[in-house]
Amino acid sequence: MQTPDEKPYPDEKAVGLAQRDQDGDDDFPAKALEPFGNEDSAEVKYRTMKWWHCGMLMIAENVSIGILSLPSAVATLGMGPAAVMIVFISALSWYTGYVIGQFKLRHPEIHSMGDAGELLMGRFGRELLGLGQLLLLIFLMASNILMFSILMNVLTDHGTCSLVFGVVGLVICFLGALPRTMDKVYWMSCASFASIFVATIITMVAMGVESKGPIRLESTTDVSFRDGFLAVTNIIFAYLAHVAYFGFMSETEDPRTFPKSLAMLQIVDTVLYLISALIIYRFAGPDVESPAILSLHPLMGKIAWGIAIPTATLSGVVLGHVACKYIYVRIFRGSDMMHQRSFLSIGSWVAICLVVWVLSWVVAESIPVFNNLLSLISALFGSWFSFGLPAIFWLHMNRGRYFQTTAKACLTVVNVLILGIACAICGLGLYVSGVAIHEDSSNSSWSCANNV
């Protein structure tokens, strides 16, 4: 999957102002300013992660809430089509993630989708993609708050108003997002992955034990277009880590190791998705709920939910960190403020975290139906950041050379097809998720009612 004419990343660890146009290639600016500048004498250093740190952060971002919605997608689509769709989306995500990595190596000054948008479309592109990235992350953070609210309602048998649980989730996530560097968030990502991994294993085992006999399973199903496409968007939701790749690479010691981090992510999440989704559906049958833990016996369900508490909060912390870091770098880029432990630098970070997390809580309370929220996110944002924009990045990097060789011509066709897939996912997904939200959640927004 290597892009032809790829240029190596500079050898300097702290790039600062790197000379990049030695061969006259217009793809390289004369001076590319790294997002965090020269950190040799910095009080707070950001570029400290190894490739496995980056990989674990990506796993924690991906393997969280989405894995719990996949069995219901299998029930809707059937085992055969669902398995094929999971593998196809995984392969597509792997390729588009690789393209994002190559684009970052070509342009080391990029820290966010907003920076990439400026390179593609100037000031308008910067604001458009920067706002889109921020909104996507806020929606993903909202899904974590919503998950925490559902979790607490299950554990306490709806012990109090669901709004209260949402506020508790907001406070926990806000406190967890206060560290300013990714290396500190890394340890939270390990706890998040361990939590959802154990909870998923418990769910699979409990489903097998609780099964009352053979269940009629369907290899294929006769399903409406709306329900089928909602199931597809839920699978897509499980592969929406791309929006954070630029930020993760920017805080890695050597961004050239990103393909190893990406491989670590794709292998782990695809294996887990396939095994958990198919096994849970095998024992729960076509009536499996979303999230799948809701299909368990109340006692086992509470045990699984209790173990999943770290995931319901810490996976959101990783997302929140990326969202807050985008704003923080946007404000202080080029100054020494980011590298200081002054009242202004720390206070600004805390204020940004508070505002972003409050906005995500508002979104969570406004769209309190789990599957519909996932579908809206996938259609509106994931289609572009995970598929459409990487195809555009490839076309930008190879402009004027689309049919230079047979391999290049094939890749050109592939990327144009990926761009078409992104357009279809966005348009059709917005329609079906909009109808679903209108029909299912119009009377439950901002309500104390049980949202399980």
Please, are residues 364 and 142 in contact by the beta-carbon 8 Å criterion?
yes
Query: Is 328 part of any domain?
Result: yes
Please, are residues 324 and 353 in contact by the beta-carbon 8 Å criterion?
yes
Q: Of 374, 450, 357, nearest to 64 (Cα)?
A: 374
- SS3 call for 24: coil
- Neighbouring CB atoms inside 10 A of 14's CB total 16
| Residue 368: band (very low, low, confident or very high) from pLDDT cuts 50, 70, 90 | low
Query: Lowest-confidence range among 48-52, 198-202, 236-240, 323-327?
Result: 236-240
| Residue 36: band (very low, low, confident or very high) from pLDDT cuts 50, 70, 90 | confident
> What's the pLDDT tens digit per position in 181-194?
887 788 888 888 99
Query: Is 452 part of any domain?
Result: no
Q: Of 98, 67, 367, 440, nearest to 235 (Cα)?
A: 67
Q: How far apart are CA 199 and CA 300, in angstroms?
A: 10
Residues 192-203 have a mean pLDDT of 91
> What's the pLDDT tens digit per position in 286-299?
888 877 888 888 88
Average pLDDT, the chain: 83
> What's the pLDDT tens digit per position in 396-420?
999 989 999 999 999 999 999 999 9
How much is the pLDDT for 365? 84
Tokens of 207: 């489903």
Query: Is 14 part of any domain?
Result: no
Query: Is 355 part of any domain?
Result: yes
| Residue 225: band (very low, low, confident or very high) from pLDDT cuts 50, 70, 90 | confident
Query: What's 169's domain CATH number?
Result: 1.20.1740.10
Of 1 and 100, which is predicted with more confidence?
Answer: 100
| Residue 13: band (very low, low, confident or very high) from pLDDT cuts 50, 70, 90 | very low
| Residue 23: band (very low, low, confident or very high) from pLDDT cuts 50, 70, 90 | very low
- The torsion of the CA quartet 317, 200, 153, 313, rounded to 10 degrees, works out to -10
Query: Is 298 part of any domain?
Result: yes
**Residue 157, phi-psi category: left (phi > 0), alpha (psi -120 to 50), beta (remainder):** left
Q: How far apart are CA 168 and CA 149, in angstroms?
A: 8
Question: Domain of 73?
Answer: 45-440
What's the total number of domains in the chain?
A: 1
- SS3 call for 17: strand
How much is the pLDDT for 231? 84
Query: Is 417 part of any domain?
Result: yes
Q: How far apart are CA 319 and CA 14, in angstroms?
A: 25
Query: Is 13 part of any domain?
Result: no
Residue in this structure with the two tokens 């217009």, named with its chain if needed = 26
Query: Is 4 part of any domain?
Result: no
How much is the pLDDT for 5? 42
Q: How far apart are CA 65 and CA 168, in angstroms?
A: 18
Cα atoms in the 13 Å half-sphere on the side-chain side of 424: 9
